[in-house]
Chain A
């Protein structure tokens, strides 16, 4: 790890000021960033630790939305009675991230801000039509993820919370990379009664919505509706573990299984 200057932010505004400096980066749970720094793949000049900012922590549910503070750990979302009641698929998704030690530290905001193409949370954000609140404003999910490790966030902008809309039913199915345990393909299906949102992570350079599946599922929310839609392989990732063609195939399979799970 290269040397850097560590800052513990005392307030959100201090964090924002510090984060605007030079090559500074925000430190949430650190489960991705610290790894990248250890491998010298990331070398920020300054790290601004959000760990002590209480206002970024916690879970609130009002029946229509579940709001997760940006610094809420995956383990808290996984075990939260409120989340389990309102959106069980979201709790389940949080429980599939990394491993239990990673979930004890990793945060919702950190994961979303990182926009890793194979991360789980972005699928939930997109499928549950979440609103991302920052110290400067709000983003609709559809406008937040802009590319590979890229989001609409501006330098120094800090996610404070994410509000997920409560669907009628939903499920997330993940086909794990056997080595890294990130998603080779993860599909989040959310039925809002009338409209359906399907978000796919792991398959492409950035999380995306599968519009054809949404249409088919809106017409009939059944496994075969999802299975009947073939994902195009063009634009999908190819790596050691999965070709674009295989990923495209898995999108249909995972979507079908997600619908099956949502109907249970």
Chain B
């Protein structure tokens, strides 16, 4: 019997290839007869296209073809996967989203033409020679200004640039709660626009086989089946079985590689026109202008409290800037993934949230690590901390007074939390962060002329996305289940096919641990396959911290079937009744006897069925399962951040960052810790260093790493992380998901710490040295 694998710190199976340069990322795939594409992109934020003249470019060396919007005019637009119904019961406005601009460009970077040549350099050279006549129009980039009178209008079908005005919660009851409040805390802030910047830029390599009348698209993507479904059914009108989508090794996603992008469509379509594979590799400058951005909310939020600091109600008004077009899941991020989380960890009895989504002349905004939930946590945790300070209450104490303590708990904003223990993570975090010693540390800092502050964030998130029926009732246009297949080979080793996609998460290890543990075999005997529609039966992909909770459970369900069929075979082999067979980690036994068959023997019998119950069973041992969860999962935790500020320069140093999370059961603590570290750093990035900035004319001023500050190693500390465990009640592994937590909880904790250090009510994100210095001067 092998040692238990669930809960073990097992080194990753995928690491050897990554460490030796043997990973196969999409750009590493070069096909026979490969050609290369470059895109002509709009230099203007808003303009009419008067003409596109590719003649000169066509004559440039190596050029094979140039296609413009006109060539692609018969294709469908890029679809949005979630329908939001507005306050008046009307569907959201969905303007056409063409793969190549049709008569108008709406942001700097909008695709105008695709140039294909023998080499990448030739394609880029020629792209510069494509002559486009623009009639430049006024632009609007600020979400808060998009609905103003006289603002430039992006889409004819969306008056006032409004996609929808949507609300959740009981407005009247909320008003009543505020009327009787002893104290109201109010904040107005911007949740800054972020640029995901997975280290691998996007790549798409489309090819077409005339012999098979079939396409293959290699693409850096988080959910190849969804990519295929959207592209075939909605854009290109192709039968799905004629398109294969392969997303091999993918160098990080963080949401930005969920979506069907214009470039994916254009290279796939062009590969057939040209009869050659067409590869496009984004460079970083292009990524800044073409990968979906994240966040960008303008919010006014209020919390009503009684005299003891008990929450009476919360109301929130948010304008969400969705950019120039609706990206694949843009509509649900600032609504379904945001307003529903505003209860946080607290028994706030009434909550009302109104969200206005607006179009602007900026890159489309969609889900980025956390997607809606960081924004919600920021609202709640900034309000709570500020309220505590205003009411002279200890910020931990105000949280304790309001924590939800009984489960299941129905929030006033649609979700039902299944389980949790919020005081457990709060108290553990306080201890680990040595909150008790803070006063002394603050004194020591003051003696050096530095300012020290401490801030909390007690976050909650809804993960394991999603129960399809619930999602459907909220506007999802797709199911959100996951599929898995367990293929047992005749000699007992196993290949598992999952619809989840790993782009850093380590599924090849974690999922193998689940399987090997159940089947009682060494982890080396289990391989996980993902990322290829021709191999995987189906998949909804990886986002929303759903892989282990939904994808992992699908595998468990398939394992249940394997084990059950194996029982029948074992019963036959041991001439016992099926009801008397027990299975435990690789061994079938006849209850109350010493008779046993190993899993490998049973598997062999299934494939070499000489002695086999042919009248009752098919040979073979291969099962698949689709799992649709009955609820979301609710990871939660407490983060404590301690900063030291240099008042002369405004520079903030993070002295300590402590995270105690409840992810339910943990399969591989080493991998989970890594996910937390990475999430925290992205959250710290949002609060401290990152922020997309546009000029009023719509030029992206933070268009490279020279101006957009991705956190570096010396910007962040080593983290103190720990976990507490309340197992999820509705999936067999008891897991909740851990991928986004850090990014969700960190910004509020950090800003709470900085405002504490400075003695100010609020400070904008990112709190760069200049911003902090300004705040200190004003004070």
Contacts and interface: CB of A to CB of B under 8 A. Distances in A.
- Assess A/B contact in the complex (Cβ within 8 A): yes
Interface of A: 1-3, 39-40, 175, 178-180, 240-243, 246, 249-250, 253
9 contacts: A1-B121, A2-B125, A175-B651, A178-B709, A179-B702, A179-B707, A179-B708, A240-B702, A246-B770
A243 B774 CA distance: 10
Q: Is the interface of A mostly helix, strand, loop or mixed?
A: loop
A242 B770 contact: yes
Given A180-B705, A253-B648, 20 more contacts: A2-B125, A3-B121, A40-B128, A175-B649, A175-B651, A178-B689, A178-B715, A178-B769, A179-B702, A179-B707, A179-B709, A240-B707, A241-B770, A242-B769, A243-B770, A246-B770, A246-B773, A246-B774, A249-B773, A250-B649
Contacts of A253: 648-649
B430 interface: no
Contacts of A175: 649, 651, 769
Given A243-B770, A246-B773, A180 B649 contact: no
B494 to A, nearest CB: 43
Sorted from nearest, which 7 A-B pairs have the closest CB atoms?
A179-B709, A180-B706, A178-B709, A253-B648, A246-B770, A242-B770, A179-B707
A3 B119 CA distance: 13
Interface residues of B, number: 24
Contact of A180 (B125, B707, B768): B707
B650 to A, nearest CB: 8
Contacts of B710: 179
B150 to A, nearest CB: 28
Interface in B699-757: 701-702, 705-710, 715
A170 to B, nearest CB: 21
Contact of A241 (B125, B128, B715, B768): B768
Nearest to B691: A240
A253 B650 CA distance: 11
B630 interface: no
B693 interface: yes
B90 interface: no
Nearest to B689: A178
B285 interface: yes
For A39, A40, A178, A180, the residue with the greatest tally of chain B CB atoms inside 10 Å of its CB is A178
A2 B650 CA distance: 41
A98 B78 CA distance: 41
Contacts of A180: 705-707
Contacts of A178: 689, 709, 715, 768-769
A112 to B, nearest CB: 21
A240 B710 CA distance: 15
A208 B651 CA distance: 25
Contacts, number: 43
A172 B243 CA distance: 60
A240 B649 contact: no
Contacts of B648: 253
A179 B709 CA distance: 4
Contacts of B651: 175
Given A1-B121, A253-B648, A179 B770 contact: no
Nearest to B648: A253
A246 B715 CA distance: 21
A159 to B, nearest CB: 25
Interface string B642-663: 0000001111000000000000
A40 B285 CA distance: 12
A39 B705 CA distance: 13
A104 B770 CA distance: 31
Contacts of A39: 285
Contact of B701 (A240, A242, A243, A249): A240
Contacts of B769: 175, 178, 242
Contacts of A40: 128
A90 to B, nearest CB: 23
A242 to B, nearest CB: 5
Nearest to A182: B706
A178 B689 CA distance: 7
B774 to A, nearest CB: 8
Given A241-B768, A242-B770, A179 B705 contact: yes
A183 to B, nearest CB: 13
Contacts of A240: 693, 701-702, 707
A153 B534 CA distance: 62
B606 to A, nearest CB: 55
Given A1-B121, A39-B285, A243-B770, A179 B706 contact: yes
A242 B689 CA distance: 13
Interface string B669-702: 0000000000000000000010001000000011
B450 to A, nearest CB: 14
A240 B125 CA distance: 31
Nearest to B702: A240
Nearest to B61: A3
Nearest to A241: B770
A240 to B, nearest CB: 6
A98 B320 CA distance: 37
Nearest to A243: B770
A2 B128 CA distance: 10
A241 B128 CA distance: 31
Nearest to B715: A178
Contacts of A241: 707, 768, 770
B39 to A, nearest CB: 15
A40 B38 CA distance: 15
A40 B283 CA distance: 13
A1 B120 CA distance: 11
Nearest to A99: B712
B317 to A, nearest CB: 29
Nearest to A178: B709
Nearest to A252: B648
A175 B217 CA distance: 47
Contacts of A243: 770
Contacts of B706: 179-180
A176 to B, nearest CB: 10
For B128, B285, B648, the residue with the greatest tally of chain A CB atoms inside 10 Å of its CB is B648
Contacts of B773: 246, 249
A175 B768 CA distance: 13
Contacts of A1: 121
A3 B649 CA distance: 44
A210 B310 CA distance: 57
B770 to A, nearest CB: 5
A39 B651 CA distance: 31
Nearest to B688: A178
Nearest to B128: A40
Nearest to B701: A240
A45 to B, nearest CB: 15
A12 B689 CA distance: 45
Interface string B539-553: 000000000000000
Nearest to A250: B649
Contacts of B285: 39
Interface in B551-599: none
A1 B125 CA distance: 8
Contacts of B768: 178, 241
A263 to B, nearest CB: 18
Contacts of B128: 40
A97 to B, nearest CB: 15
Nearest to B708: A179
Contacts of B705: 179-180
B726 to A, nearest CB: 39
Interface string B120-134: 010001001000000
A39 B288 CA distance: 14
Interface string B385-401: 00000000000000000
Nearest to A1: B121
Contacts of A242: 769-770
A254 to B, nearest CB: 9
Interface in B114-149: 121, 125, 128
A39 B770 CA distance: 28
Nearest to A249: B773
